[in-house]
Amino acid sequence: MDAALWVTGLAGAAFFISHLGLAHPPVHDRITGRIGEKGFQGLYLLVTLLILGAMITGYVSASHAVYLWIPGPGVRHLPLLMMPLAFMLIVGGVTTSNPSALGIGGNLDRADAVRSVLRITRHPLMWGLTLWAAVHIIANGDLASLLFFGGFLLTALLGSLHLDRRMAATQGERWQRFAAVTSYVPFAAILSGRQTWGWAELGRPAAWGLGVFAVLLALHPYLFGVRPY
């Protein structure tokens, strides 16, 4: 395995470990006790950017000829099917106030706490990133992509579970009421009858998500050197 693959893998592991490690309550509380919440956020951002830089540099420089499986035509075009949903969740997750996010647990008591993409999953941003990472791993089939996108995949999946446990421990019954009408797994609350679709609320994130998808689809060959269609 060449050096760039090692860098990609180690940086991906560091991305996962740092995100969950810094968010771990004892670690978070110890750091904020010394440098404050704003200082912690600055440190978190700095660590994230440094590791992302290493991940991207390693991935771009790594050999993409080490295949774990050979993706066929249908598999290679899987992102075209899944990325519109991924972008809808990402855009909705960014633009919708989420009571499950750190720092805004007070929104748990709002009457409209569950709306828009939160009806699909209480972690829309994380699941959007999960879909993005998963379909790119499957569609590429090479070791470099597994190491690079795998870091995001593990961070998004396990990070949201970690956040659920933290909110349950700190918010108690308020969190239980919110969790009872939402779901970790996308669409589970809707399919079980605990939540409704709310079609009107999904219109804006769906439109913006499709718009972002269309723009990145057109620019993909120029930004990333790969034509996805």
Token pair, residue 205, equals 């994130």
pLDDT in tens, 68-127: 999 887 788 889 999 999 999 999 999 988 887 655 556 777 777 888 999 999 999 999
Which position has the higher pLDDT, 224 or 125?
Answer: 125
Same domain for 144 and 121: yes
Same domain for 82 and 50: no
Choose one of 63, 81, 102: the last residue of a domain: 63
- Residue 103, pLDDT score: 54
- Residue 102, pLDDT score: 56
Domain that holds residue 74: 69-224
pLDDT in tens, 5-51: 999 999 999 999 998 888 888 888 899 889 988 888 899 899 999 99
Choose one of 38, 63, 88: the last residue of a domain: 63
Tell how far CA 78 is from the center of its chain: 18
CB 135 within 8 A of CB 82: yes
142 belongs to a structural domain: yes
State the average pLDDT over residues 160-180.
88
Same domain for 204 and 129: yes
Number of domains in the chain: 2
- Residue 1, pLDDT score: 62
- Residue 226, pLDDT score: 80
229 belongs to a structural domain: no
Same domain for 161 and 79: yes
Q: Which of 211, 133, 123, 197 is nearest to 167 (CA)?
A: 123
pLDDT in tens, 173-214: 888 999 999 999 999 999 999 999 888 899 999 999 999 999
Same domain for 77 and 49: no
Same domain for 168 and 110: yes
Choose one of 63, 78, 112: the last residue of a domain: 63
Same domain for 217 and 104: yes
- Residue 92, pLDDT score: 93
Same domain for 112 and 162: yes
Same domain for 99 and 15: no
